[in-house]
Amino acid sequence: MRIILKLEPNSLYDSIHELVRMAYPGCEIVCGEGEGDLMLELRLDIDDKAAVIAAQIHTAQGARTRRERCAIAADIGAGLFNWAKQQVRAFTYDLLCELTGENINRYGILTGMRPVKLAHRLFDQGLNPREIEKRLGSDYRLDPEKAHLLVEIAKANRPYLLGADEAGKWVSIYLGIPYCPSRCYYCSFPGAVLTNYETEIIPFLEALFREIRALSGYLKERGLKVQTVYLGGGTPTVLSTYHLERLFAELVACGYITAQTAEITVEAGRPDTLDLHKLRALKANGVNRICINPQSMNDNTLAVIGRNHDQKGVIKSLEWVREVGIEKINMDVIIGLPGEGLTENTNTAQQILRLEPDNITVHTLALKKGSLMAEKENGITPQERTRQVEAGVELFSDLLRGAGFIPYYLYRQKYMKASMENLGYARPGSFCLYNIQMIEERQTIIGLGGGAGSKFIDLKAGSLESFYNPKNPAAYCQTVEQLISRKVDKLRALN
């Protein structure tokens, strides 16, 4: 399907194109002149008293128009243009729901990754939970269930957000090890498959250690403390025990890990990279949270998605983690894996609950361009798949809540079907601090290593800038000096 957008002003494109994509998944969207199956002409005019939004829609069935006049509040001030864009989004959302005859997005006009941030903003403005849910429905068009979920999560994680004074004194550190032992079929793959340990890992670690040492100077200069350290990837546990110990020694020597560091997480996503010896080393180096990610507890599925382990490997890893005494365990699962429906989801949920982790992160499969599976998906209609995924999400929610878990962080992805979300559940008191800081974006995160993302939060200016290291290890090694100086410049510019 080809959709032509004629917008006045053109800058409205950023506000509405994602909604159009949600209404017509897979469509081609063209801005300007041309032939299409549907043409949407949209115009925004603002005068002293109101924003006037007018649309003309042309389809094979004919043309129709819609017009709305939104009064401008007397105290709107500098927020006028953002308010007007929000009105255009709400107008477009209503129009697209009417055209398609369905709710195009249960999150209403929110299409970004972090919808909970809006609930926090409304809490900051002094609204109570009931008022926030109402506002999310009326102004942002969320359905009541999603509005309630956002408020529930914001309420749960607000106590862990630092106030402006404290937030300026703390940072979190993300370390990216962009290697995996093999490629899982559903993954758009953040880095490289490790083929030769010596020739790949040694130069990568040299570059990483250069970055670690250089950025520690900035922390000392500003007197900053590290609240959490998160070792992600890729699969960080592809590193040998020796190199993991060297990495932690470097982090301690450079002042990233101190007695004040509240949480050190290691993603050990693939059980095929673990052994008892390695886990002992992690525990001895202060790791207090570990992610063992089965994705599914069905061996057939694990084989189909290219994981080099079975469910017994997951159970064994958990036994080792308990034996060495790492305090908190997270387990990731994915709903929507090929061949999986409610029976398989139930088996996964029940087996995982029997293992009693502290956190369970429930992902809905977002088939990103570039994943092998997106290229292969067939045999099931998008509507069937959507229904399956929605049923699986509901099943996990019921079982996990019934077992005492509560949702505490949420993010969405592009290409996410079924208007779904990735949802982190935890037992009360077992929340992952890093996940909260990373998703709610109220603390600077310094990313070091391959594919590592940094977020520079300027609390006084109320601004945020993201910065990403190359995920390709060779590109990372070649550019590490420039990365260091650009990052230090950005950090020094923060108020």
The residues of the shown chain that bind ligand SF4, judged by CB under 6 A, are: 180, 183-184, 187, 189-190, 233-235, 269-270
**For the residues of 66-116, what is the DSSP string, one character each?**
EEEEEEPPTT-GGGHHHHHHHHHHHHHHHHHHHHHTS-S-TTTT--SS-TH
Write down the residue that tokens 């469509």 correspond to. 27
Instruction: Select 104 or 362, whichever has its Cβ closest to ligand SF4.
Output: 362
Give the whole-angstrom CA distance, residue 207 versus residue 90: 47
CB of 419 to ligand SF4, least distance (A): 23
Angle between helices 276-284 and 311-324 (to 10 degrees): 40
Distance of CA 395 to the CA centre of its chain: 22
Pick from 105, 120, 111, 114: which is nearest to 152 by CA? 120
In three-state secondary structure terms, 372 is helix
Give the whole-angstrom CA distance, residue 230 versus residue 142: 33
In three-state secondary structure terms, 473 is helix
Angle between helices 241-253 and 276-284 (to 10 degrees): 10
Instruction: Select 40 or 180, whichever has its Cβ closest to ligand SF4.
Output: 180
Instruction: Select 180 or 219, whichever has its Cβ closest to ligand SF4.
Output: 180
Give the whole-angstrom CA distance, residue 294 versus residue 307: 9
CB atoms < 10 A from the CB of 287, how many?
25
CB of 233 to ligand SF4, least distance (A): 6
147 neighbors 141 (Cβ within 8 angstroms): no
Q: What is the signed CA dihedral for 105, 106, 111, 116, rounded to 10 degrees? A: 180
Angle at 181 between CA 177 and CA 187, to 5 degrees: 80
292 neighbors 329 (Cβ within 8 angstroms): yes
Give the whole-angstrom CA distance, residue 13 versus residue 482: 34
CB of 255 to ligand SF4, least distance (A): 29
CB atoms < 10 A from the CB of 339, how many?
13
Give the whole-angstrom CA distance, residue 261 versus residue 263: 6
In three-state secondary structure terms, 230 is strand
Instruction: Select 265 or 444, whichever has its Cβ closest to ligand SF4.
Output: 265
Instruction: Select 168 or 190, whichever has its Cβ closest to ligand SF4.
Output: 190
CB of 180 to ligand SF4, least distance (A): 3
In three-state secondary structure terms, 168 is coil
Instruction: Select 270 or 417, whichever has its Cβ closest to ligand SF4.
Output: 270
Instruction: Select 232 or 392, whichever has its Cβ closest to ligand SF4.
Output: 232
Q: What is the signed CA dihedral for 411, 416, 418, 424, rounded to 10 degrees? A: -30
